[in-house]
Amino acid sequence: MKIKHLLSLLLLCIITDAYSQSTGILVLEEDMEVPAHCNYLGDVKVTDKGFKTNCGYERTMEEASRKKAKLGGNIFKIYDLAHPSAMGSTCYQVWGYAYYSDDIERTKRELHLPPDTVTHRLLPDTARYAVVYAYRKMAGEGSSKAYLLHVGDADLSWMEPYSKGKVIIEKEGPVKIWAAYDKHVEMELNIQFGKAYFIKCDSECGVAKCHPLFTVQDPNKGYYEYSLISNH
């Protein structure tokens, strides 16, 4: 029964990842049109100036997603994606636009994308709270040092490789997700009751210092990755 459950989650993950790329709420490929109700916020680009080393596809898209979030967007529309080349940059590079949709499920329906099927399984329709789930898969190319993840004034969990935690939020509106070691890093999440939010945690190191990284995941993909990590 457990194997069957994991296989169904894997299938759900594959379907969702084709569109969300696991790097934010919604990523639209080059051939996908942005629905008319979405508001344009600004241009976003992630390029290589010749000094990058940690610049694979996933990390590049995560950086684009963070830049999109700083503009207040929840949609990233790609208009050009450059692959690594022996004759040019060895990094992925991306150019696109940040948009905001006040109803992301409507946007998905108009694009014929898979809906959020996770939230209704985790929270009742009458919930007067939201739940923020956070997880960290592995050390990757950054530091394996643990850091304490905060959601507003609440301590969610110590995030070390292969760890996870969650916290219930009983107030709607903007809340800061933050952590610090060597460098303070934060992002803003707009909390709505009845919603489940998944934060993928990681870290990144420069020449002398490391700092936390976190990215909001599509609920379907986030739930799948969260479920693969066992509690200590």
Mean residue pLDDT of the chain comes to 79
Same domain, 99 and 155: no
Same domain, 88 and 146: no
Same domain, 121 and 220: yes
Same domain, 134 and 100: no
d(CA 128, CA 149): 23
d(CA 91, CA 175): 33
Structural domain ending residue among the three candidates 57, 82, 113: 113
Please give the residue that has the higher pLDDT: either 137 or 207: 137
Same domain, 67 and 125: no
For the stretch 115-169, pLDDT in tens is 677 788 888 889 999 999 999 987 555 567 888 999 988 888 888 888 999 999 9
CATH of the domain at 32: 3.30.110
Same domain, 93 and 144: no
> pLDDT above 90 covers what percent of the chain?
19
**Would you say residue 10 has pLDDT above 60?**
no
* Position 5 confidence tier, pLDDT thresholds 50, 70, 90: very low
**Domain of 157?**
116-232
Same domain, 86 and 138: no
Structural domain ending residue among the three candidates 59, 94, 113: 113
**Would you say residue 197 has pLDDT above 60?**
yes
**Would you say residue 99 has pLDDT above 90?**
yes
- For the residues 25-47, what does the mean pLDDT come to? 88
Rounded to the nearest 5 degrees, what angle is found at the Cα of 83, between the Cα atoms of 78 and 87?
140
**Would you say residue 94 has pLDDT above 80?**
yes
Same domain, 121 and 231: yes
172 and 202 in contact (C-beta within 8 Å)? Answer: no
Same domain, 56 and 103: yes
- On the CB side of 22, CA atoms within 13 Å amount to 17
**Would you say residue 12 has pLDDT above 50?**
no
The pLDDT value recorded for residue 131 is: 93
Same domain, 216 and 135: yes
Same domain, 108 and 124: no
- For the residues 98-118, what does the mean pLDDT come to? 82
Same domain, 136 and 170: yes
The pLDDT value recorded for residue 25 is: 61
Q: How many domains does the chain have?
A: 2
103 and 174 in contact (C-beta within 8 Å)? Answer: no
> pLDDT above 70 covers what percent of the chain?
81
Q: Which pair of structure tokens corresponds to residue 230? A: 């066992």
- On the CB side of 207, CA atoms within 13 Å amount to 1
Structural domain ending residue among the three candidates 62, 93, 113: 113
CATH of the domain at 170: 2.60.40
* Position 52 confidence tier, pLDDT thresholds 50, 70, 90: low
**Would you say residue 95 has pLDDT above 90?**
yes
